[in-house]
Structure formats: C-alpha cells, structure tokens
A and B are shown apart, each in its own frame.
Chain A
Amino acid sequence: MAGLLRTEAGKGLALSAPASLYVGLLVAAPLGILVAYSFWTQTYVEIDKTLTWANYLEAATDPLVRHLMLRSILIAGAVTAATVALAYPIAYFIAFRTQKKTLWLLLITIPFWSSYLLRVFSWKLILGFNGVLNSALISLGLIDEPLTFLLYNEFAVVLTLAHAWAPFAILPIYVSLQKIDRSLLEAATDLGCSKLERFVRVTLPLTVPGIIAASLIIFIPTVGDYVTPSLVGGSQGKMIANLIQVQFGPANNWPLGATLSLVAMASVGFAAILFAVLATALGRRIR
C-alpha cells in the first residue's frame, strides 16, 4: 500500500478518491434504492416489499403521466431552442464585434450569481395579471386591459427558463466561436462567399460542438425543473417534476414517485442522446 502511494498513479488515485467516491456513492446508492422502491408498492402507511411491475404499468398507462412527461420534454426542447437562438447573436457579438470581451462576459454572468428561486419569483411578479409589465403598459396607455396570456402557461415557463439558462448557452457558443481560425473566414470571403453564405457554411458548422454542449447543459436539467413550472406555469405549465414532488410529498406514494423519477431520467437520457446524434449528423450535412 505504502509502495503504491509513492507511484504517480497511486498518488493520483488516492487524492481523487474522496471526491469521486463521494459523488459515485451518492449517485449509485440513491439510484439503487430508487430502483428497489420502484418495484415495491405503497399500502396506506406501510411499504409492501413484494416485487411488482405495478408502478411501471401505472406510469405507462396513466394518461396524466404520459402527458406531463411529453410536455416536459417538449417544453425543455422549446426552452433549449429559444435559449440557444437568443444567445447565439450575443456570443457572436462578443466573439467578433467587440474589444471589451471580458467586460461583456462579466456583465452577462453577474445576474446569474443570484438565487434562481428569486429570479423565477421576479418573473412571476413581472408577468402577473396585475403585474409589473401589465401595469407599466397600462400606465403608458399602450393597452386598456391587462394581457392575460403572459403568466400561468407554457409561454411563461419557456421565457423564464430561457432567461435562467442564458449564460449556459452563451459561454459554450462563445468559446467555439472564439476558437474559429479567422483565416478560414477570410479564405471564404476571398473565394467569393457572401456574408450569409460564409456564416451558414463556415461559421455555423464550426460552432456545432458549442451548440450541442449548450443544448445538453440546458435540456437535461430543464426536463426535471420544479421551481419554474410551480411558480409561473399554472395548471397548463405543470411538468413531470411537479408530479414527482406530489408523490414524495402530499400523495405520499414513494414507490410511484421513485418510478416516475427513473422514467424521467431514462426519457431525458434517451432524448439527449437522440439529439446529440441528430445534431452531429446535421452539422456534418451543412458542411
């Protein structure tokens, strides 16, 4: 043992072991127990530990589960698309059109050093029926009646999350834009590409890795987001996390909650892999 600790490999393993064991254990153990729970059933106060597929059957046949799962994935997809589309021009601006890169990057990240819960709460106040936006528009005389489509729907969820994830999209795209060899762009121009062509055929394909990274970072946690659908989603904007919370909280059906967590995780993984494969293929195609 002492001999092993003197080698490069031994030292590396020993130093990194506490961190990787901590994360490894806290990923594996809860997951294992979650799997066990998903095969048990809840009988009022007791847990019936007879192994059964009942929870999976319920998750597969209950229209509410299917509906919320599908909606979560669609909303997460919309959030990802909106965030990346809104962030791309900013990343482009910082990479190519300004000298003050550090300042801009700092300006963009500062708002996200504040509590996520509070930012979502603030959007609720902005978008509400008697909220900031409506009252401001009425004070300015632009509208007579408060707009009702702002809060408690999918739109509010997508807007709030597109705001919440902004730097996670801007930074990876900025990095991939920054990495582009500028002489490639000059070559494209010298060879007669118009600006648009140059963007579509040179710049955009070279940033596909950044776009994929940004999309995955945003998509995966968004599917399981709890705070935003609870605060601004209303009944139209509820997502799978809300249902999972109900099972672990008020409904007190942990086995079903465990099953839903596992199903959600599997769906997210599947959707993410599908997306990464499609995006990579598409990126090659454009070139």
Chain B
Amino acid sequence: MSEPLNKPLSPAVSKARRKPIRFPWLLAYAVGYLIFLYLPVLLLPLFSFNDGTIVAFPMKGFTLKWYAQLGEQDTLLQAMINSLTVGAVTALVATSLGLFAARAYVRYRFKGRELSEGLVMLPLVIPGIIVASSMLVLFISLGLKPSLTTVILGHVFVALPFAVSIMKSAFDDFDQSLEEAAFDLGESVIGTFRRVTLPIVAPGIVASLLVTFTVSFDEFVLAFFLSGNQPTLPVYIWSQIRFPAKLPNTLALGSLLLLASVQLLLTAEYFRRRSTKSASKSA
C-alpha cells in the first residue's frame, strides 16, 4: 500500500521538478537560523578574550587575564567543587534509577507500565519555578535545611527523564536471547546481568552519566531555591551577573562552562551511538 505506484519514475520526476535553477530559499533560511542559534553561544567566548570591561564593538585587544584571575577567587572554586559534587552524585543516582526503570519498561509487560513511564517523564513538563518552590516548602517542612543534599534531591528529579530515555534506547535493540543463552549455560540472574547485560549497555550508561551530570551542572532555578548558603556554579554566576565590574570574569567562566558542557555532551553522544551500534550488531 505504501509503495508509490509509479516508483521507477518518481525519483526522476521529483528531480526534474526540483531542477529549475532558483534561489534555494530554504537553505538560505536554514543557514540564517543557524547563525541565530550560534550567535549567543559564540559571543561569550569571543568577548572573554577582549581587553576591556564593556561588551561592545569595536573590540579592544586580545587578553587572557580574565581567565587568569579566575583561579584567584576562592568562592568560585568552592562553587565549582559544590557543582562537581552535586553533578556526580546526581548522575550516579539518576542513572541507577533510570537503568532499572528502563530495563523494566523495555523487557517486561506489566500493569501500570504506561502510567509509570509517563510519571518519570513528568519532571520535563512541570515549570521549574513550581518544582523549586514546592520542593523548598517540602524540605523545610521535613526539617531539611537547604544545602547541597536538597539540591541533589531536586536534580535527581529533573535528570531522571534523561536517564530513563537514554537507557531505554540502550535496551531497545538489546537482544534478549543473549541473556537466555547465559541462563541456559548456567549463569545466575546477577551473573547474567553483570557479565552479559551490563557490558552491552555500558556505552548507554556512560552516555546517561554524562548527560545527567551536565543537566545538573547547568541547572539554575532549583539550585537557586534549594542551595541555601552553598551555591553551585550557576548560582554563583547569577550572583556575579549583577556586578558590571565582574563582567569579564563572568564571561571567561561562562566560556569555560560552555566548553565543558559541549565537550561532555559530544562525548555522551559518541557513547550513545556506540551503544545503539553495538546493540544492533549483537542482535
């Protein structure tokens, strides 16, 4: 049914239809749109090397001093340590939860599966301010002071949908008969998981760890509400944005963070692709 009737003809026909030389409006639009997308992201690094405190053209000379000054700021370093801690713990917890849930969704048919799948995606669509304010109220009511712990609890919540969807695609193409073979050859449930399942989905796990780490590392609103007097890097940056004199340092710090995020996520993407590739190869 879905095969076109005139299949042998169609490529030639559509090529002929596209042939007349005319300005490729869509391509031009696409390129313009890319410039729009990249403008703000490339601007921070560009001006972080500018030898002046005002972000405007014409640019002054080239300098690295804004980067050099970053190392001298103790509060910044502390915020960096806070962010790394929160990110690492968030990544571990969210990925573990996501690993088991994704495994259940892909492998088993059970009552409430769809409900559960919908539920874990919910954090993606609740406005951040509502998550942040309601968690603050909850934690205070439970006697939990705002701290890195509460930030981690919040970040696991927002990172979980990412972990689940990455792990789901890692399990998706996973060939079940490999596990059955391991069972038949006498491996225990845990042994099979450790020696067969885990190695095959390992690239997916790495991807999930990296992505959830980055989600946490870049998250601002929750950390703003829940961090108390232990600021994470985005909260620190927020406090610096108000001071024009600090602007060049903020640009330098921002550029480093941009670079780190993009680097981490490109690595994650690499592992994610490898996971689908290895899974389909084994299938």
Query: Which residues of A pack against B, CB within 8 Å?
Result: 8-16, 18-20, 22-24, 26-27, 29-31, 33-34, 37, 86, 89-90, 92-94, 97-98, 104, 106-108, 110-111, 113-119, 121-123, 125-126, 128, 130-132, 134-136, 139, 163, 166, 181-183, 186-187, 189-190, 216-217, 220-227, 231, 241, 244-245, 248, 254, 257-258, 261, 264-265, 268
A-B contact pairs, 11 of them (CB 8 A): A15-B101, A15-B103, A33-B141, A107-B34, A114-B257, A117-B218, A121-B44, A223-B127, A241-B128, A254-B137, A264-B130
Q: Is B61 an interface residue (CB 8 A)?
A: no
Which of these binds chain A: B66-74, B117-125, B173-181, B200-208? B117-125
CA distance A22 to B135 in the complex (A): 13
Contact B137 A34 (CB under 8 A): yes
Which of these binds chain A: B84-92, B106-114, B274-282? B106-114
Contact A37 B109 (CB under 8 A): no
CA distance A134 to B119 in the complex (A): 46
Residues of B within 8 A of A131 (CB): 55-56
Q: A19-B98, A89-B30, A254-B137 are in contact. Are A220 and B127 (CB under 8 A)?
A: yes
Q: Of B120, B130, B135, which contacts A224 at CB under 8 A?
A: B130
Interface string of B3-23 (1 = CB under 8 A from A): 111100010011001000000
Q: Of B29, B128, B157, which contacts A22 at CB under 8 A?
A: B157
Residues of B within 8 A of A245 (CB): 129, 133
Contact B127 A114 (CB under 8 A): no
- Nearest-neighbor residue (CB-CB) of A140 within chain B: B57
Give the Cβ gap from B264 to chain A, nearest Cβ, in Å: 8
Give the Cβ gap from B41 to chain A, nearest Cβ, in Å: 4
Residues of B within 8 A of A241 (CB): 127-129
CA distance A222 to B126 in the complex (A): 10
CA distance A104 to B31 in the complex (A): 10
Residues of A within 8 A of B6 (CB): 186, 190
Residues of A within 8 A of B190 (CB): none
Q: Of B43, B97, B156, which contacts A125 at CB under 8 A?
A: B43
- Nearest-neighbor residue (CB-CB) of B24 within chain A: A97
Contact B221 A186 (CB under 8 A): no
Contact B104 A163 (CB under 8 A): no
Residues of A within 8 A of B3 (CB): 183
Residues of chain B from 151 to 187 with CB closer than 8 A to chain A in the complex? 153, 156-157, 160, 164
Residues of A within 8 A of B124 (CB): 217
CA distance A118 to B44 in the complex (A): 8
Residues of B within 8 A of A9 (CB): 108-111
CA distance A117 to B257 in the complex (A): 11
Contact B26 A12 (CB under 8 A): no
How many residues belonging to B are interface residues under a CB distance threshold of 8 Å? Answer: 90
CA distance A186 to B11 in the complex (A): 11
- Nearest-neighbor residue (CB-CB) of A166 within chain B: B37
Residues of B within 8 A of A26 (CB): 135, 138, 153, 157
- Nearest-neighbor residue (CB-CB) of B37 within chain A: A111
Q: Of A23, A89, A94, A225, which contacts B122 at CB under 8 A?
A: A23
The prevalent SS among residues of B at the interface is helix
Contact B160 A227 (CB under 8 A): no
Residues of B within 8 A of A183 (CB): 2-5
Q: Of B47, B241, B264, which contacts A231 at CB under 8 A?
A: B241
- Nearest-neighbor residue (CB-CB) of B136 within chain A: A248
- Nearest-neighbor residue (CB-CB) of A183 within chain B: B4
Top 3 closest pairs, chain A to chain B, by CB: A224-B127, A12-B108, A30-B134
Q: Of B2, B130, B257, B262, which contacts A110 at CB under 8 A?
A: B262
CA distance A11 to B4 in the complex (A): 45
Q: Of A34, A113, A216, which contacts B125 at CB under 8 A?
A: A216
Contact B129 A226 (CB under 8 A): yes
| Residue of B30, B131, B156, B258 with highest tally of chain A CB at under 10 A | B30
Contact A257 B138 (CB under 8 A): no
Give the Cβ gap from B95 to chain A, nearest Cβ, in Å: 11
- Nearest-neighbor residue (CB-CB) of B253 within chain A: A118
Residues of A within 8 A of B103 (CB): 15
CA distance A226 to B113 in the complex (A): 34
Residues of A within 8 A of B101 (CB): 15-16, 18-20
Q: A30-B135, A115-B254, A131-B56 are in contact. Are A261 and B36 (CB under 8 A)?
A: no
Residues of B within 8 A of A224 (CB): 127-130
Give 14 new A-B contacts, CB below 8 A, not counting A23-B160, A113-B214: A24-B119, A30-B138, A113-B266, A114-B41, A115-B217, A115-B220, A117-B237, A125-B55, A135-B57, A166-B37, A227-B221, A248-B136, A261-B130, A261-B133
Give the Cβ gap from B25 to chain A, nearest Cβ, in Å: 9
Contact A227 B220 (CB under 8 A): yes
Residues of A within 8 A of B130 (CB): 224, 244, 261, 264-265
Give the Cβ gap from B274 to chain A, nearest Cβ, in Å: 15
Contact A34 B109 (CB under 8 A): no
Q: A9-B110, A163-B40 are in contact. Are A226 and B237 (CB under 8 A)?
A: no
